[in-house]
Amino acid sequence: MTIRLLCLLAALAVLPAAAAALDRGAAERQFRVWLAETVWPRARAEGVSRATFDAALRGVELNWDLPELVPPGAPEATPEKQLQAEFGSPARYFAGRKLDDAAARGRRMARAHAGALTAAEVATGVPGRIVLAVWGRESGYGRAAIRHDAFAVLATKGFMSTRRELFTDELVAALRIAEAGLAPDGRLRGSWAGALGQPQFLPSAYLRFARDGDGDGRADIWDSEDDTIASIAAYLAHFGWVAGRDWGFEVELPDSVSCTLEGPDLGRPIAEWAKMGIARVSGRPFPAHERAVQWILMLPAGRRGPAFVVTPNFYVLKKYNESDLYALFVGHLGDRIQYGMGDFRGRWGSTGGSRGARSPPSSAGWAALVTTPAASTGWRGSRPAAPSGAGSATPAGARPVFRTPRWPRRCRAEVPAGAAHITRIPITGPCSDTSTP
């Protein structure tokens, strides 16, 4: 059998599925049936009234422009592994001018919302600079347009996407928000990934973490800055933010320290790191009250990029978005807002060795939801083009978007090929492209 014939047979085999996938009219009809027979019973079981259901979904149509759709009849697809734009270009992600603008705006917001930020910190222990940085990253302090109808987005993705079950659950959660009378004007504005309002919470995260910061009795994360601040702080507190601890510091990494010492399971007291020659790039000592507790070495771009020691709070930031660079961005922006810090001392250069690399396969649960990046978060240009909309499109509650390679992958690039199978090398020898660890 010739190659050409094989190709022809293969093409014929997929034709029916392709034809079915293209019949949008039929899909729309199936969609209405699915709403009536699948979503409505689940919503009713969770206390949603028929009136709320009808008001939310009347007139809602499938949005064929969303990413990761699997129309009826199309071959089942695995969740898209996404290009790590940020990791491919961390230098651009951390471009100083954008950060300066964000920090300047953050300082203005800090003055304008000092009362709410203080109240949130008193209630949760999460510092105002961290709340501001998340807010700035997610929605440009509320300036990003949040224009999608979350019911349409969630219904579309619940009906035909790579994560139907997950988005169906979120659709029911969104209906519960409407049932409780918490949706402004009966509608829910969100990103093209269904993340709501200024903190970019998924509906289930809204139900768990949204707070009323201004005391009007409603948690309005769309139009209330105080509610947004209180909600972001509540989210981070829930995931274990440790009051009184920082997120991390940039450090000098001597050649004698192996990159294999990186990782959240390899924390040690700062005195031990200091003994190896690790010091803050600022030249300042580590805070006295932090000396006895664990610090973790973190090399987001491998050995040749900026180096950090971080606290467990760094990993709390990753609960907002499963990405080292995201957490680093938030911590660093917070420092710029409060302390006026400048760029990282270490150079990103073309480090990473992962330009164009794809994220690792996703695991189960929210933390595995790796979506295509959104176009606008108030940080224009930092992400590749995507459907229009606000927010990082990173469903909160675990809002993974960008994943950086995990150890040992990013360290492996720096050890000789013959040693690449080694997963842990508990030594402190040199670690580079040309020397054996």
- Angle at the Cα of 233 (from 295 to 107), degrees rounded to 5? 90
**255 scored as a contact of Ca ion (CB under 5 A):** no
Which residue among 38, 212, 277, 367 contacts Ca ion (CB under 5 A)?
212
- Residue 225 interacting with Ca ion (CB under 5 A): no
What is the smallest separation between the CB atom of 230 and Ca ion, expressed in angstroms? 8
Q: Which of 92, 98, 187, 218 binds Ca ion (CB under 5 A)?
A: 218
**Cβ–Cβ < 8 Å for 322, 404:** no
Taking the least distance from each CB to Ca ion, the nearer of 186 and 356 is 186
| Residues contacting residue 233 through CB under 8 Å, at least 6 positions apart | 120, 121, 123, 124, 126, 131, 211
Can you tell me which residue has the tokens 């274990």?
Answer: 240
Structure tokens belonging to residue 184: 């402004």
162 or 224: CB nearest Ca ion: 224
Q: Which of 86, 227, 322, 335 binds Ca ion (CB under 5 A)?
A: 227
Per CB under 5 A, the segment of 116-124, 129-137, 217-225, 242-250 that binds Ca ion is 217-225
Q: With binding defined as CB under 5 A, does residue 214 bind Ca ion?
A: yes
- Which residue lies nearer to Ca ion by CB, 28 or 216? 216
CA angle 332, 333, 336 (to 5 degrees): 90
Q: Site map for Ca ion, 32-51, x if CB under 5 A? A: --------------------
Q: What is the DSSP string of 325-375?
A: HHHHHHHHHHHHHHH---S-SS--TTTTS-TTPBPPPP-SSGGG---PPPS
Whichever of 200 and 311 has its CB closer to Ca ion, that residue is 200
User: Minimum CB separation from Ca ion for residue 221, in Å?
Assistant: 9
For Ca ion, the closer CB: 100 or 212: 212
Binding-residue total with Ca ion (CB under 5 A): 7
Spatial distance between the Cα atoms of 376 and 235, rounded to a whole number of angstroms: 23
Residue 297's CB is within 10 A of a number of other CB atoms, namely: 25
Q: Which stretch binds Ca ion (CB under 5 A): 70-78, 218-226, 296-304, 359-367?
A: 218-226
Q: How many CA atoms lie within 13 A of 353 on its CB side?
A: 17
**Which residues of this protein are in contact with Ca ion, per CB under 5 A?**
212, 214, 216, 218, 220, 224, 227
